[in-house]
Structure 1
């Protein structure tokens, strides 16, 4: 019996309910006929030239991405526009595109559960609970099987996620014991205070900015405040583990009817990393 795009969408929306999406988000089927038969599905973080090519080259009939292609309102998708060009290529190739974004962030299990599992954490609950349920919400709080020094934990994070030019950065005492950890896939500096209130030893997220991170660490001098050490990873790398989670959800719901593939395209935009010169920062360069 053949499987159609609409059946796959139903499975995805049961796992990642659209009602969990933020009001500004754009989730769901972007293009494609719901009645199209599906034999192969490719899962990715970003709908880009690389992943669209991978979907077409692999013979997939559906591309499932985490990030939306058309997040903001558009009045047209002309083929000479970068995003319009992708829509035209997908339609011409008969490939549908489905996006699960903040609904996948808040679902249980969701993006941060996949990140926590990759780091070897046992999840105990959400970082910022959603109104719809006690386990749904942004981020996760978890625990390591055994505490380890922060320096070792940063190396754990680096070895558990796909390598990127951005790499993994840690801010904190390398010898500080880390047992409890908060994670938030994607940009998470808006939850620095939430992680502090949770009393965790470390907080792992992406896109940490200079001022919020510096102001967070400065609170170490405030009496009765214990701030978590920070681990900053590449946005793409923090969300890539979700692709396997989502693929497994579909495979379990539709056994022996569709083939699921996880994209290995590294769509992190940063491609070069160069360390600074080992000179006195107080001296002007020669």
Structure 2
């Protein structure tokens, strides 16, 4: 079995820390570099439910997209929920490694996985990384469809292929509009509206869209908008990343057992509509 330091070196090659935003906190959060790694679990959020799953699975390494500590802290006391995560990890000899905005910008990255889940063909990054001469890295992706669909059909595809959540897929635009090109961005995407408009696409699928940016975008153009749950747009990356690590393991002869958590960690757990029963949501499809 490989040492943790060997595995994290491979992860650093997939998602270099240099790609991360300056405010981000990526890399190894907990773990002994000399400890052996035999089983790995991928998840979006380093919350207690996921850590407990890693313990039950017998994982030696947990890899998450979201950081545990994005900002500084003065305590890891188990009386705090993040401190309890740290205590559980250390007591059970489980390392934690984070790939966040460096995985967003990587080639392939979070938005490539999102596009793949939707059956979209990636053309180029939405916001290219100027340091990449090949022009393949960056935030978001510009995509094409194999054949035109209506906005209604695209929304239905997103609802069917992304993990089910209480939010579902919110849509702004003419449901019968023809969609040929789509910009996608895993996670919060309304800061990218200027780039999306400049790209001239027919639709933009992302998460966490706020009222005022959406209202302004709709007033300024006919751009169709699809707003999915944050967790749902990033979960496909876990499967992509797990496949990447499995390929490395096979090449190096490590024999890693790699798993993807299907535990939903979207914070919204139910949706109520008028004259309709309350619907709750579980694991991804």
TM-score range, shorter chain: over 0.9
1:77 and 1:55 map into 2 onto residues whose CA distance is 20
Counterpart residue number, 1:281: none
1:131 is displaced (CA, Å) by 2.0
Q: In structure 1, the residue corresponding to 2:76 is in which secondary structure?
A: coil
How high is the TM-score relative to the length of structure 2? 0.93
1:60 is displaced (CA, Å) by 0.4
How high is the TM-score relative to the length of structure 1? 0.93
Counterpart residue number, 1:112: 111
1:25 is displaced (CA, Å) by 0.3
1:7 and 1:178 map into 2 onto residues whose CA distance is 45
2:217 and 2:275 map into 1 onto residues whose CA distance is 27
Counterpart residue number, 1:165: 166
Counterpart residue number, 1:247: 242
- Aligned positions of 1:20-99 closer than 5 A: 20-99=19-98
1:44 and 1:136 map into 2 onto residues whose CA distance is 22
Counterpart residue number, 1:150: 151
1:211 is displaced (CA, Å) by 0.7
1:156 is displaced (CA, Å) by 0.6
2:6 and 2:147 map into 1 onto residues whose CA distance is 42
1:87 and 1:272 map into 2 onto residues whose CA distance is 29
Which stretches in structure 2 are left out of the alignment for 5+ residues? 277-285
Counterpart residue number, 1:234: 229
2:160 and 2:31 map into 1 onto residues whose CA distance is 37
Counterpart residue number, 2:202: 201
Counterpart residue number, 2:6: 7
2:152 and 2:25 map into 1 onto residues whose CA distance is 38
Aligned residues: 271
Tell which structure's C-alpha radius of gyration is larger: 1
1:91 is displaced (CA, Å) by 0.1
1:124 and 1:234 map into 2 onto residues whose CA distance is 24
Give per-residue Cα distances to partners, 1:168-195, cap 9 Å, x unaligned: 1111101111110000000000011211
2:265 and 2:165 map into 1 onto residues whose CA distance is 10
Give per-residue Cα distances to partners, 1:193-240, cap 9 Å, x unaligned: 2111101110000000011101100013xxxxxx42000000000000
Counterpart residue number, 2:259: 261
1:277 is displaced (CA, Å) by 5.8
Q: Kindly report the root-mean-square deviation, in angstroms, between the aligned alpha carbons of the 2 structures.
A: 1.1
Counterpart residue number, 2:217: 216
